[in-house]
């Protein structure tokens, strides 16, 4: 419960009615760190840079360059990078304004892609990754340090697979694929939690089950909301036949698209199971109530008549005044008779209750 | 509860079967106030005008003119403005008849756009804003004074951003954007309320929770109903390639479109969470009932047998008449025996209850 | 409850497998009344006619003729009218067979339109109005006397608005518009009822609330089922660009289409609120049960132990036989001690109950 | 309940993986009966035939021939008919394998249409009718004797309507129309049952109501599942412009299509009402429980305190030992005082209960 | 319950970010077994092979070759087969990575098809079957030994039906058809279970019913999730007019498509019935509670007043001190009067209860 993700994201930077295309940050935003990996079939380099000039040099030296910008606390530097690669102002604003949905936008000579990377915290949280894919370059904008790209970097640096022989479009695919595949472990974890919860809900009704189910449903909805637009985004990349994306890369993107469909499939299955468990829970609670009430009713049905009989023979009518006043009290077998009467009532009632099927 | 928005809007002006294209008002409608902001790269003016002639003059003097008409209590004046700019009669009727859905309609040489501005009252209320976008002019019709355009006016007057160098289409975008962005704070407020409600519902079942959930669901539905058609309206503006909308303005409208999608996304998420909370609430109420009934059953199960034993030994059978009549009463250890019998019953029953798991 | 509309309409006239295109009526069907309004820019006439010849003459005399046939109890007369205007047999059968859904069908030289007019009875009921729109004529078939066209007739007769200067297509639009606008007052009435019901449901659970909610949902569904196909019907009229519908009339039909969307919007909103109220009602009923059970449990929890104590000291153990037999009865402070014991139990139990939060 | 239709149909004939296009039957299948109606504008004949040759002769003699095959227990005969008319093997297999959905399939020179005829048994059951429509012939395959075509046969034999002057396509329409119209009476019957059930559910909660509602929902679903594909099937017939279907027949099929839409409309309305009734039923059951519990609580709240007072004055404290031991028992007005105390408690409690609104 | 299928599949082989198109296995994966069936109109052969060369030879010798690879524990062998037939690397990876959804992918000169075969275990489980369809060859990749293709093999080997005279596309259809038809028996089994469950749920509320319903819903959902993409897959095969699929084969695929629609139809029907049964169950549980509470209330309402009367006459007021102290005790008919009073109360209360309709 403590880790429930808040619904309201941190406030948006821009106010309604303010001018678009502006890049501005609170002073507390940390300064950007820029890591450049440039490579080609013949070689590669991996450098931490601080100015735009070194980026431009590297771009000239290698067929493909990947500029990875983490944190955005230097509006001028970012604007300079944007200018160096001819990026559209509005797209640049979107890249550093971390409230976008996954999407792809086509500009004159570059594509702008936004994806959401799942972070491996206790609560499910996503981090926006913006991509610019142009002729021979990929520029990524990450909100926070830490990502799921280490295997891709490794493949570039150690020349594993076909990545060193492919263009920037293949790099873009590889990064997108890493982001999308990152949802599988999180979904598997949710699946395990759901299964444990399922077993608990089916076996016994606990009051906290419903709260956990609610949290599970919220998490699944957040995952669904994060995954769903990726599907359309990857589909747009495939369908629109951008010249920046080579025909050879398209089957790989199609594979990536299949993964988004699989993810949606799993999320929807889990959501439906979780929805069904709410019914199971409510039904179990009702059933438990029935059980409790049966016990109460059996007890009351048994002892109220017995207590009544005892009450009758506890009355103080004056046997001296009249032979009609409680002659039973003076009978020789009075007390055993009363006990037998009680026993008989109890047996009859138990038989009635048993016939009703309440003792099962 | 007190601020629940009424479902039935104030009655429509026109009766079924009456002639379309007519502009008529109740006498109580306040007279219009017209504010004209005309501007170009070189300069700008901001004036309150009362007649059509001054508007026509300003239109000639500046590249772009924004005529902002607030309140419609002068049918002739409005008709004169409509004639001056060549506006279609039907569109003009729609502009002052404040029961439209957001939409865009294309006429010979102008576009007619209707949007709904969220007002910042206690209850969520929308105000219709109608736009006419033509060659070099934007005319807005507002139902009531007070709007969210002050930042746009400021950008024009202080020449901030690109607005002074752009045409009427950009002005139109800037106003639409201000209206759409105005929904975000309202949604954030609903999100905070929903979260507080979520915590209350999950932690304990209060009778007023369900009423608050119902109000929350109603508010979200009203927001959804207001936001949804904006999405299509902005999409139509982008897709239909009206000559009045420059290619440079289209990316900005696309940005605006993204915002409507984000708004819908948030509303749907909130709606789903609110729907789930109803289940949580109903389940909690049932669970609370179980708790109450358990206590009742435990008390009854304990004390009914005990009371019965006490009742038996309170019977008045005449011990003189027969040795079988309640000999226990005369035993030396009779009373302690009875108390032990009761204690034994109580222990046995408690053990039974404990075994049932009701004491948890 | 009494006015609940029956689900099963009066039996259809034709039996499965019988020949199509036939016009036949039960003898009890009242004979048709035919009112002809013919007009043009120069003049107009309004006559009750009984034979086809006078209709043909009027058709020649005026640019536009509106033949309004109410009730269909004369198959020959109707067939004669159909022949005079060249109407398709199947369409004519549909016009007098009052079980159609709103639709538009294109025939060689005329359009056949079916609409449902809402009648202002206690129960929501619709009456089928069939239109034939041809070159210079509109023929309407009404099931019963009484309609919502009086304002349109008035506009023709007093030459209000543009109707006298427009063609038959504009007349057709004006009639459709009158029918569609006729749903607004009915919806507003439902909205008011819903709101009153909402206040009742939220404030207290009454058993008849759910029955009223059910009736409300039924009414809204009937309205939805009536309104929904009008939307498609008007859309078809606009989209298919029939040569019979002039370009000038299209914006008016678009306006009409907007109204059908608004109607659907309102109906769906009401339906969703009504569905939500069912949950509120069920939850309130459960909560009320909790309240009742709390009182019962408090009473039982308080008085069962007290009653038990009283029962113990009502036992008749023979104090003579043994010093262990209820010595309390002979104590000097015995009775006050017993009362204090009871008071103590009561206080302890109340404290326990209070701690449980049941006295709130 | 007894007539609930089973979910699992009789086992399919073919096993997974077996060869398609084969016609084979269990030996118990009854032998086919073939009735041929051949007609033209000039004459008609109606014969029961047993071999293919007579069919071929009749086909030559009349413009239109309708071969009606009932039951399929002679694979060779059926194959011979198929060959005589050039029917596709796969379609022929589908025609005699009675597990098809309504559909239309286009082959080289004939159309293959499958429809489901509603049978008028106690349980709702459908019978597959397969049509082959070719140049001048209609061949129908019926699973069982008994159909809804008698009126069509009558129209052919007595030359009623246009059927004798029309081609095979019109015959095919007439048969389809008879099948589809056959759903209306069944739906009307369901509607009456639903209405009766509605009245019962709204007025009082009986335990068997929910079982009946469940059966009603199942029946409606079976109807929906049967009707739904007819809609698409008829639509395909209209839309695909098969040369076998004359333009004059198309308006009739359009009429038929309208009927399928009306049927779906009614089914959906009933389904929604039935779904709403489940809520009404559950709510009523809850409400009834409230009523019962109120009575229990009132009784317990009244009599437990009274019983307690009586219990107190039934204690046996020894008044001799101490003046503090139950002096009330010796008061002159002791008994009346106790009775008044009880009365006072009862009045106070009743007032409390009345204030709670439980006596209403 | 024990056989509930786990939600989380065995972990995926590839890690997020790793290189695509790689074929790698855990060492424990069993080595592949390859069975080749090659045939033509003139002859056929059926061999277990271990190397690629013998496959290539067989391919040359016969018009159609079917290579059936079961288990994938030899990456090199599989890569060699892929190379021999010119299969795309990515498709080959998908074929051995058993987490695909049913789909069809078009490559240069072959089609790649993935299907899920239902396995006949206790829990519903699917096994991935990947097909490569090329010019004269079909290659299938099976995850585990055991399949539903024995009848197809038999048809090839015994030259039953048209299979020996048809091409590889017909073989591919025959295999797909066998897979899809394999779902019918499983669905029929689910249908029987559902029906048994339906009878139990409708007749009496047992606590385990809801758990079984939940399992049924899960099973149906898994079936739906497995069947659904087959529909689109087969549709793609038909619609895209691949040159590899002959026009004669298309009607057979259309038949196959009809089967997927029928399967979906059945699954959806079952799902809806199962969903309705949850309501029936919850309602029955509530009703049972009502029954139990009625008994409790009747007992309490009867015996509490009686017990109270007995309690009153069990009070010990001192009749010596005052004539007002319980004179009834000294009456001649005191005791019979008290008994009659009790009897009267009981009768009155029973009458009240009977009037409430609780004894029915």
Q: What is the pLDDT of residues D201-215, one digit of tens each?
A: 888 778 788 889 999
Q: Which of A315, A345, A348 to mutate to test the interface with E (most CBs of E within 10 A)?
A: A315
Residues of chain B contacting residue A306, judged by C-beta atoms under 8 Å apart: 308, 311
> How confident is residue A13, by pLDDT bands cut at 50, 70 and 90?
very low
CA angle D166, D168, D170 (to 5 degrees): 55
Chain segment C276-335, per-residue pLDDT in tens: 999 889 888 888 888 888 888 888 888 888 888 888 888 888 888 888 888 888 888 888
The answer to whether position A302 is within a domain reads yes
Chain D CB contacts of E194 under 8 Å are 7
| CA of E147 vs chain D CAs: smallest distance (Å) | 11
- pLDDT over 70 percentage in chain B: 92
Quickly tell me which residue has 């077996």 as its tokens: D18
Residues D306, D239, single domain; the answer is no
pLDDT tens for each residue of B98-133: 778 899 988 888 999 999 998 866 678 889 999 999
A340, E352 in Cβ contact below 8 A? no
Of residues A357 and E229, more confidence is placed in E229
A151-179 per-position pLDDT tens digit:
999 999 998 888 999 999 999 999 999 99
Residue B226 lies in a domain: no
Based on its alpha-carbon atoms, the radius of gyration of chain E, rounded to whole angstroms, reads 36
Amino acid D6: pLDDT: 61
Q: Is pLDDT above 50 for D10?
A: no
Rounded to the nearest 5°, which phi and psi values hold at C138?
A: -125, 125
Q: How many CB atoms lie within 10 A of CB A232?
A: 16
Q: Is the Cβ–Cβ distance between B37 and B156 less than 8 Å? A: yes
The number of C-beta contacts closer than 8 angstroms across A and E is 187
Average pLDDT over residues D158-183: 91
Q: Are residues D101 and D39 in the same domain?
A: yes
d(CA D307, CA B303): 14
Q: Based on the fold, state whether residues C43 and C159 are members of the same structural domain.
A: yes
The residue among C304, C348, C355 with the most chain B CBs within 10 A of its CB, best to mutate, is C304
d(CA B270, CA B220): 8
Please determine, for residue A123, whether its predicted confidence score (pLDDT) is greater than 50. Answer: yes
> Is B345 domain-assigned?
yes
Q: On the CB side of B229, how many CA atoms lie within 13 Å of its CA?
A: 18
- Helix, strand, coil content of chain D in percent (nearest 5): 55, 15, 30
Q: Residue E3 above 60 pLDDT? A: no
Supply the pLDDT for residue C125.
84
pLDDT reported for residue A336: 87
A10, pLDDT greater than 50:
no
Q: What is the number of structural domains in chain B?
A: 2
Tell me, yes or no, whether C320 and C236 share the same domain.
Answer: no
Together in a domain, A277 and A300: no
pLDDT score for A216: 92
- pLDDT at position B2 over 70: no
Q: What is the DSSP letter of D8?
A: S
Q: Do A105 and B286 touch (CB under 8 A)?
A: no
Burial degree of B233 (CB within 10 A; 0-12, 13-18, 19+):
buried
- Chain C residues with CB under 8 Å of D273 CB are 7, 218, 221
Chain D residues with CB under 8 Å of C314 CB are 311, 314-316
Q: Which pLDDT score is estimated for B69?
A: 93
Least confident among B284-298, C12-26, E33-47: C12-26
E311 to chain A: closest CA residue: A311
Using CA atoms, how far apart are residues E202 and E206, in angstroms rounded to an integer?
A: 10
Interface C:D, Cβ pairs < 8 A: 189
Tell me, yes or no, whether D41 and D141 share the same domain: yes
Indicate if C227 and C127 belong to the same structural domain: no
Q: What average pLDDT does range E64-93 have in this prediction? A: 90
> Distance between CA atoms of B293 and C296, rounded to whole angstroms?
9
E132 close to E112: Cβ distance less than 8 angstroms: yes
Domain-embedded: residue A175:
no
Q: Which subunits count as partners of chain D given 3+ CB pairs below 8 Å?
A: C, E
Helix (H, G, I), strand (E, B) or coil at B59: helix
pLDDT in tens, E214-252: 999 999 998 999 999 999 999 999 888 888 999 889 889
Beta bridge partners of A128: A116
Closest CA to A106 of A231, A300, A236: A236
Count CA atoms closer than 13 A to B115's CA, side-chain side: 29
Confidence of residue E94 (pLDDT cuts 50, 70, 90): confident
Q: Are D137 and D59 in contact (CB under 8 A)?
A: yes
Q: What is the CATH number of the domain that holds B83?
A: 3.30.460.20
Q: Do the chains contact at C8 and D192, CB–CB below 8 Å?
A: yes
Q: What is the pLDDT of residues A332-355, one digit of tens each?
A: 888 888 889 999 998 998 888 888
Last residue of a domain, one of B162, B189, B208: B162
**B93 neighbors B20 (Cβ within 8 angstroms):** yes
Residue at B8 is within a domain = no
pLDDT digits (tens, 9 = 90+) for D68-119: 999 888 888 889 999 999 998 888 888 888 778 899 988 888 999 999 998 8
Average pLDDT, chain A: 86
Higher pLDDT, C33 or A122: C33
CATH number of the domain at A234, please.
Answer: 1.20.58.340
What residues of E are in contact with residue A348 (Cβ under 8 Å)? none
The pLDDT of residue A11 is: 46
What's the CA gap between E77 and E30, in Å, rounded?
13
- What pLDDT sits at residue C277? 92
ipTM of the complex: 0.80
Confidence at residue E1, expressed as pLDDT on a 0 to 100 scale: 38
Q: Residue B21 — pLDDT band, cuts 50, 70, 90?
A: low
pTM: 0.84
Strands A64-70 and A111-119, by their bridges, are unpaired
- Specify whether C40 is located in the same domain as C161: yes
Q: What is the tens place of the pLDDT at every residue in D117-145?
A: 988 666 788 899 999 999 999 999 998 88
Are residue D122 and residue D35 in the same domain, yes or no? yes
Instruction: Give yes or no for residue D29 having a pLDDT over 80.
Output: no
Q: Where does a domain end: B141, B162, B183?
A: B162
d(CA B299, nearest CA chain A) in Å: 9
Range of B328's domain?
286-356
Residue whose structure tokens are 């190397």: E51
Of E130, E157, E184, which residue constitutes the final position of a domain? E157
C113, C195: one domain: no
Q: What subunits touch chain A, counting only 3 or more CB pairs under 8 A? A: B, E
Mutate to test the interface with D, among C13, C17, C271, C316 (most CBs of D within 10 A): C17
Q: Which region among A170-174, C117-121, C178-182, D327-331 has the lowest average model confidence (pLDDT)?
A: C117-121
Residues in E closer than 8 angstroms to A316, CB to CB, are 313-316, 326, 329
Tokens 């929906």, located at residue: D224
Is the pLDDT confidence value at D25 over 80?
no
E225 falls within a domain: no
Q: Are residues D198 and D254 in the same domain?
A: yes
The pLDDT value recorded for residue C22 is 67
User: What percent of chain B is modeled with pLDDT above 90?
Assistant: 41
Tell whether the model's pLDDT for residue B34 goes beyond 70. Answer: yes
pLDDT score for C331: 84
Contact D314 E317 (CB under 8 A): no
Is residue D186 located within the same domain as residue D152? no
Q: What is the pLDDT of residues D269-296, one digit of tens each?
A: 999 999 999 988 988 888 888 888 888 8
Instruction: Report if residue E90 sits inside a domain.
Output: yes
Confirm if B205 and B281 have CB atoms less than 8 A apart.
Answer: yes
The average pLDDT across E209-213 equals 89
Binned at pLDDT 50, 70 and 90, residue C85 comes out as: very high
Is C360 domain-assigned?
no
Interchain contact, E314 vs D314, CB within 8 Å:
yes
User: Which pLDDT value is given to residue D2?
Assistant: 42
- Percent of the residues in chain D that have a pLDDT greater than 70, as a whole number: 92
Q: Does residue B5 carry a pLDDT above 60?
A: no
Report whether pLDDT(E21) > 70.
Answer: no
């Amino acid at each position: 419960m403590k880790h429930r993700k808040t619904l309201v994201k941190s406030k948006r930077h821009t106010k309604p009615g303010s001018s678009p295309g502006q890049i501005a940050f609170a002073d507390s935003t940390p300064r950007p760190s820029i890591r450049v990996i440039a490579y080609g079939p013949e070689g590669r380099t991996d450098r931490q840079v601080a100015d735009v000039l070194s980026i431009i040099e590297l771009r000239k030296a290698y067929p493909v360059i990947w500029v990875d910008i983490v944190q955005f606390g230097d509006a001028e530097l970012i604007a300079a990078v944007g200018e160096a690669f001819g990026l559209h102002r509005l797209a640049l604003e979107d890249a550093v304004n971390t409230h976008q949905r996954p999407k792809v936008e086509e500009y004159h000579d570059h594509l702008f892609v936004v994806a959401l990377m799942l972070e491996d915290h206790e609560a499910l949280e996503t981090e926006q990754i913006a991509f610019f894919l142009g002729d021979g370059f990929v520029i990524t904008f990450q909100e926070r340090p830490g990502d799921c790209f280490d295997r891709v970097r490794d493949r570039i640096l150690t020349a594993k697979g076909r990545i060193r022989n492919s263009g920037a479009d293949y790099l873009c695919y590889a990064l997108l694929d890493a982001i999308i595949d990152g949802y599988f472990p999180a979904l598997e974890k949710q699946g395990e939690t759901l299964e444990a919860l399922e077993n608990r809900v089916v076996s016994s009704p606990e009051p906290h089950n419903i709260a956990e189910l609610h949290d599970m449903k919220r998490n699944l909805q957040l995952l669904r909301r994060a995954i769903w637009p990726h599907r359309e985004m990857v589909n747009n990349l495939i369908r629109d036949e951008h010249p920046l994306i080579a025909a050879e890369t398209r089957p790989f993107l199609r594979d990536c698209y299949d993964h988004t469909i699989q993810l949606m499939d799993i999320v929807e299955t889990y959501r439906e199971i979780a929805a069904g468990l709410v019914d199971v829970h409510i039904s179990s609670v009702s059933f438990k109530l029935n059980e409790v009430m049966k016990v109460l009713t059996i007890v009351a049905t048994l002892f109220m008549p017995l207590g009544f009989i005892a009450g009758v023979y506890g009355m103080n009518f004056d046997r001296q005044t009249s032979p009609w006043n409680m002659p039973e009290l003076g009978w020789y077998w009075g007390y055993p008779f009363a006990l037998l009467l009680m026993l008989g009532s109890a047996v009859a009632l138990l038989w009635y209750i048993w016939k009703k099927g309440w003792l099962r």
